[in-house]
Structure 1
Amino acid sequence: MIKKFLFCLALVTLVGFSNVSGGKAANHNTPPDNRTTEMDHSNSDKETKGFKKAENPTYKVGSQAIIRADHMKGMKGAIATIVGAYDTIAYIVTYTPTTGGEKVKNHKWVVQEEIENAGNIPFKPRTEVILKADHHKGMKGATAIIESGEKTTVYMIDYTPTTGGKRVKNHKWVTESELKAIQKP
């Protein structure tokens, strides 16, 4: 009986530490409040080649706005500098990272151009797609379900988190409704 107990205890311990890498828990999932914490902004400029630039965006490239979205900690209330504006279809998706881990639910946003073989026809909710987007570890190549979509202007932004820390460059994406004009005195 004691041997069975020790075996079960060892098994539970091993399973409990299966998501640990180098002494730190792997951080490629969405935290409980569904805000993303770790994004890869390194090739954002290259990834937007071929996107349709917005002809008359509400927020012009180079202008600033207040961020209403809280996709990441310290994002809401920060001042954004607009570095790109594109007319597209933005989707909320649910996917399981290719690197393993928990399902990421209701991720905002993946755009039409970041879905394999997308073409120009909008996807309907509950459609299964393959992501080309590489915003997070394990996102590129993942199978996703379209939760909803909207034709809109999306913005790539730079901002400094309200929680302090390093300036975030080329964050993708926020929509027009997730930005607010800065009131001039």
Structure 2
Amino acid sequence: MRRLPLTLAGLAILVTATACSAGSDSADQSAHEGHETSATSSATSQATSSSASGTPSASQGGHEHMHAMDGGPAPEGITAAEKPTYPVGTQVTLTADHMEGMKGAPATVVGAYKTVAYAVNYTPTDGGPEVTNHKWVVQEELQGAGSERLADGTEVTIEADHMPGMKGATGTVASSTTQTVYMVDYEADGMTMTNHKWVVEKEMKPRG
């Protein structure tokens, strides 16, 4: 009979130890699960932030935003327009959206020309993704184009170097226009673009 209290005491100790162990395991599991939840939330937040900021993905290539800051002189052989709607020096507002920040930007006309402007599809020579409906490349920037307007679908070799991978690229004509073609200086997103090629007449309006 003297052994009974000792056995009960031992059982009490064993139960207490087991409960402590279970509580510890539960706390550890809860902490681990909380860490995983926090990490998942952080990753989701970062992905959402990246999407909201408009950062281009690798698949987008980014060629449409890589025009040189200075476009250089007009190509040889191009003819100046005699009486353009917007003479050199005219202050205009751009309505084209060829590049980010262009639409609505103030600009100054630095050249006006009579030629044919083409929207082209081409594969860059630097291994970048295909560029579609690039605006604009003029007649004088296409290899062996002659003086006649080219039909849509015509295969061409581009001699312009507006962007990396453009010079020497092959492609096709997507569309064309005989509107007066302008070269402009403009400001967008804190940067000044000079001799930007090209903007056609319907893509600008008087600044007022």
The share of aligned pairs that are identical, in percent, is 49
Q: Deviations over 1:100-121 (max 9, x none)?
A: 1210010000100000001101
Q: Which has the larger radius of gyration?
A: 2
- Long gaps (5+) in structure 1: 1-24
Match of 1:166 in 2: 191
Q: Quick one: higher RCO (CA 8 Å, sep 6+), 1 or 2?
A: 1
* TM-score of the pair, normalised by structure 1: 0.77
Match of 1:13 in 2: none
Q: Does residue 44 of the first structure (1) align with residue 72 of the second (2)?
A: yes
- Long gaps (5+) in structure 2: 1-56
Query: CA offset at residue 43 of structure 1?
Result: 5.4
Q: How does 1:104-143 map to 2 (within 5 A)?
A: 104-143=131-170
**RMSD of aligned residue pairs (Cα, Å):** 2.0
Query: CA offset at residue 30 of structure 1?
Result: 4.3
CA distance in 1, matches of 2:97, 2:103: 5
Q: Name whichever structure is richer in helix by fraction.
A: 2
Q: Does residue 181 of the first structure (1) align with residue 206 of the second (2)?
A: yes
**Is the 2:123–2:170 Cα contact (8 Å) retained in structure 1?**
yes
Q: Name whichever structure is richer in strand by fraction.
A: 1
Q: Deviations over 1:151-177 (max 9, x none)?
A: 12110000110xx22211111000000
Query: CA offset at residue 144 of structure 1?
Result: 1.1
- 2:76 is paired with a residue whose SS is coil
Match for 1:103 among 122, 130, 149?
130
Match of 2:3 in 1: none
Question: Residue type matched to 1:182 in 2?
Answer: R
Query: CA offset at residue 182 of structure 1?
Result: 1.9
Question: Residue type matched to 2:124 in 1?
Answer: P
Distance 1:160-1:43 versus aligned 2 partners, 3 A rule:
closer
Match of 2:50 in 1: none
CA distance in 2, matches of 1:169, 1:43: 6
How many residues are matched? 152
Q: Does residue 56 of the first structure (1) align with residue 83 of the second (2)?
A: yes
